[in-house]
Amino acid sequence: MRFWNQLAISVVVLAVGGAAWVRLAPGAGETLAAIGVSQPLIDALSGAQGGEGAGGGSSNSERGQGRRSGFAEAPLVVVKPAARAVVNDRLNAIGNGEAIRSVTVTPTATGNLTEILVKSGDRITEGQVIARLDSDDQMIAAEQARLTRDSAREKVERYRNLSTARAVTAVEVRDSEIALQAAELALKTAELDLKRRDIVAPSKGVVGIITVNIGDYVTTSTPIAVVDDRSQILVDFWVPERFAGKISVDQPVTASAIAQPGRALQGVVHAIDNRLDPQSRTLRVRARLENPDDMLRAGMSFSVTVAFDGDRYPTVDPLAIQWSSEGSFIWRVEGNKSERVPIKIIQRNPDKVLVDAELAEGDRVVTEGVQRLRDGGVVRIAGEPAAEAEQKVAGDAQ
């Protein structure tokens, strides 16, 4: 008898405790239903008035009380609207600058330097003489060739006059004309050799440091000076292969010299290489910058920025990201019901996460209170008036 009394008391205690737990603990009913407890027993524990009345149906006030009681037990959540952001819309790279045209001037003949007509930093024009080699032998040879030419010309004129009197034959006249042509060619050769004793600049620009001195013996491979035309600066930089199809010639770029921070320089893409580097998987691109005030120099390093259209993705608060065995997801609130939305993370930022998901701008995404949510469950939104929220739930139920 004592055993049955203790058993009865235990059953009563368990029933009272279970009823209190179901009434007071949010989500207890869902937990019991998940482990197989029948719904009538859950309703009995919670004290729900779920049966039919004497007239065959419950009153409006009872349904209203049940709905209000169910809404009051709905989890409270904090939501934040989804936004949109652009990714891969710009490229930043570091590049090296060089003059639009840079020429190392070398002699076209060998000999000793007799004159250096420019100094470092001088601006010169195309074709300007910057140095001279000794040219005494060439001057004598040119003068001798000129005398030979003049003599051959006089002989041709004399033979032509004598041919009219039939004092010379036509063959002799022809031979004198050929001799004149040969003398003219010899003179041109001598004048060209003399001209080559002048070392001229093949392009305009600024003369660099001159490393030779008067009296030095130079050859055709001896550098006399480096001439840079820096009216424009070319900047070589490397871009990842994913941008290879997006960048094009004449596309605007913005650059700044590392040595001159805060000064924005506008330019365009000047050239694009025809292949990628297989080691780094990058593409060589060359930009062109104007240098009207001559503040830029060859060899400077530049920070280059290229803008693109980019890709647009929804953004959510980092607190909204949840994980499961199936991957990452978020909770979206439609009306006053929660909906689980799978996502793919594109980019993480401190204040927002770019995701690939079926999410529109302005959709309400849960950031707090996600622990008790279930797909299709009713939720209460923090800051939303209770009466308005209950009307939404009632409308959804109807």
Whether residues 123 and 211 fall in one domain: yes
**52 pLDDT higher than 90:** no
Ramachandran quadrant class, 327 (left: phi over 0; alpha: psi -120 to 50; beta: rest)? left
Q: Each residue of 332-386: pLDDT tens digit?
A: 998 888 999 999 998 888 889 999 999 999 999 999 988 888 888 888 888 776 5
Task: Tell whether 348 and 225 lie within a shared domain.
Answer: no
Same domain, 207 and 274: yes
pTM: 0.59
Question: What CATH number does the domain containing 370 carry?
Answer: 2.40.420.20
Rounded to 5 degrees, what angle do the CA atoms 51, 56, 62 make?
55
One domain for residues 392 and 246:
no
pLDDT above 60 for 277: yes
Helices 2-24, 39-46: axis angle to 10 degrees equals: 80
> For 59-91, how does the pLDDT look when each residue is reduced to its tens digit (9 = 90+)?
444 444 444 445 557 888 899 999 998 877 788
Poorest-confidence range of 59-68, 176-185, 387-396? 59-68
Indicate whether 211 and 121 sit together in one domain: yes
Q: Are residues 282 and 348 in the same domain?
A: no
Q: Give the integer Cα–Cα distance in Å for 323 and 334.
A: 21
DSSP string, 247-272: --TT-EEEEEETTSTT--EEEEEEEE
Q: Give yes or no: residues 223 and 275 share one domain.
A: yes
Least confident of 22-31, 105-114, 121-130: 22-31
DSSP secondary structure letters along 204-250: -EEE------TT-EE-TT---EEEEEEEEEEEEEEEEGGGTTT--TT
- Radius of gyration for the alpha carbons in the chain, expressed in angstroms and rounded: 47
Say yes or no: 295 and 220 in one domain.
yes
- Given a contact cutoff of 8 angstroms between Cβ atoms, the answer to whether 306 and 90 are in contact is yes
**Residue 219 is part of which domain span?**
90-132+199-308
Is a pLDDT exceeding 80 seen at residue 330?
A: yes
Res 301: pLDDT: 95
Together in a domain, 227 and 119: yes
Q: What CATH number does the domain containing 159 carry? A: 1.10.287.470
Express each pLDDT in 283-321 by its tens digit: 999 999 999 888 999 999 999 999 887 788 999 999 999
Choosing from 155, 171, 196, the residue where a domain stops is 196
CATH of the domain at 112: 2.40.30.170
Q: How far apart are CA 227 and CA 202, in angstroms?
A: 9
CA 271 to chain centre: 16
Size of the chain, expressed as the number of residues it contains: 398
Placement of tokens 């007239």 in the chain: 55
Last residue of a domain, one of 156, 172, 196: 196
Q: Which of 281, 308, 335 is the last residue of a domain?
A: 308
Domains contained in the chain, number:
4
Question: Do residues 174 and 98 share a domain?
Answer: no
- Spell out the residues 6+ positions from residue 306 whose beta carbon is closer than 8 angstroms to its own: 90, 91, 93, 239, 243, 247, 251, 253, 254, 269
Residues 106 and 241 in one domain: yes
Q: How high does pLDDT run on average in the chain? A: 83
Q: Which runs of consecutive H residues, i.e. helices, occur in the chain?
A: 2-24, 28-34, 39-46, 60-72, 136-164, 170-195, 386-397
Q: Same domain for 212 and 122?
A: yes
